[in-house]
Amino acid sequence: MAGSPATVQKTALAIAGLVGAHEVVELLTTTATLTHSGAGWNWNGPIYVATPQLLAAFHIRPSEVSPKSDILSMRPGLANVANMHLVVLAPPASNVPPLCSRSMCATSSGPYGPRQVGRIDRPVIQELGSLPSGTDAPNTLLTPHAIMQLGLKTSVAGWFFQAPQTINPAQLKSAQLMAVAQDMSVESKDNVPSMSTLINSATAFGIGLALAILAMSVGLVRSETAGDLRVLAATGASSWARRTLSAATAGGLALLGALLGTVAGYVGMIGLFRGSTLAGGVSSLENVPLDNLLLILVGMPLIAVVLGWVLSGRERPATVRRAIE
pLDDT tens figures, 60-118: 998 899 999 999 988 877 777 778 888 887 665 444 444 433 434 444 444 444 566 67
The tens digit of pLDDT for each residue in 285-311 reads 666 778 888 888 898 889 888 887 887
Q: Do 155 and 215 share a domain, yes or no? A: no
The pLDDT value given to residue 142: 93
Query: Quick one: 110 and 219 in the same domain?
Result: no
Compute the distance between CA of residue 137 and CA of residue 167 in angstroms, rounded to an integer: 16
Alpha-carbon distance of 293 to 202, in angstroms, equals 12
The verdict on residue 77 lying in a domain is: yes
Looking at the fold, whether 125 and 205 belong to one and the same domain comes out as no
State the average pLDDT over residues 113-129: 78
Instruction: Inform me whether the pLDDT recorded for 168 exceeds 50.
Output: yes
Asked whether residue 122 carries a pLDDT value surpassing 80, the answer given is: yes
Residue 66 maps to a domain: yes
Same domain, 138 and 209: no
Mean pLDDT computed over 42-64: 86
Asked if the structure places residue 244 within a domain, the reply is: yes
d(CA 313, CA 78): 51
**Structural domain for 247, as ranges:** 195-320
Task: Identify the domain boundary among 138, 161, 184.
Answer: 161
What is the greatest pairwise CA distance in the chain?
98
Q: Please report the pLDDT score of residue 199 as a whole number.
A: 74
Q: How far apart are alpha carbons 124 and 151 in whole angstroms? A: 17
Residue 184: which region, alpha, beta or left (left: phi > 0; alpha: psi -120 to 50)? beta
- 173-201 mean pLDDT: 72
| Residue 258: how many other CB atoms lie within 10 Å | 22
Rounded (10°) angle between helices 5-18 and 169-180: 170
Q: Give the mean model confidence (pLDDT) for residues 19-38.
A: 83
**CA gap 261, 232 in Å, rounded:** 34
- The C-alpha atoms of residue 187 and residue 50 are separated, in whole angstroms, by 20
User: Is position 242 within any domain?
Assistant: yes
Residues 77 and 135 in one domain: yes
Amino acid at 310: V
The set of residues, in sequence order, having a beta carbon less than 8 Å from that of 67 and lying 6+ positions away, is 145
**Does 138 share its domain with 233?**
no
What pLDDT shows up at residue 51? 92
